[in-house]
Amino acid sequence: MLMTMKKIKIGIIICDRYHTCAGGKCFRALQNHEGAFKMYEDQEVELAAYTTCGGCPGGNIEYAPEEMKKNGVTHIHFATGFLVGYPPCPYMEHYAKFIPEKYGMKVVFGTHPIPQKYHLTHQKLNTWNTPFLKEAIKQTLADEKTRLNYD
């Protein structure tokens, strides 16, 4: 008996300070199942939505997930830029609570692997030293070779 795999529909939200980003690294990582998309390596995934947070403090976060859910999105990825920006987004913890509570959707922090240049800078600055950020970057940490491929 042939079993069909359920397609997972994801949405990506990018930080508004990168609102002109064309998404190249995110799309490459999705296609290659790298970074946070590695979690789908044995699943079929469809990108069904892509938007910005709407700018600080994330005005679009209140409404975009509703539209995404109407289109079948079950997992929202906050782009790696939320983690590697200077400073990382201070509202991520709120988003991680709000979206699952209001919309019942899974929140994942990160898309493509963290580029090496950002990894080195944040390591020197000790940016990711909070329990939340230590956990949030786990999906996007990769080996140095992969990080260099995303510089």
Q: What is the 3-state secondary structure (H, E, C) of 82-100?
A: HHHCCCCCCCHHHHHHHHH
71 Cβ neighbours under 8 A, 6+ residues apart: 9, 48, 49
Per-residue pLDDT of the chain (151 residues; tens, 9 = 90+): 555 568 999 999 999 999 999 999 999 999 999 999 999 999 999 999 999 999 999 999 999 999 999 999 999 999 999 999 999 999 999 999 999 999 999 999 999 999 999 999 999 999 999 999 999 999 999 999 999 999 9
Domains of the chain in start order, with CATH, are 9-149 (3.40.50)
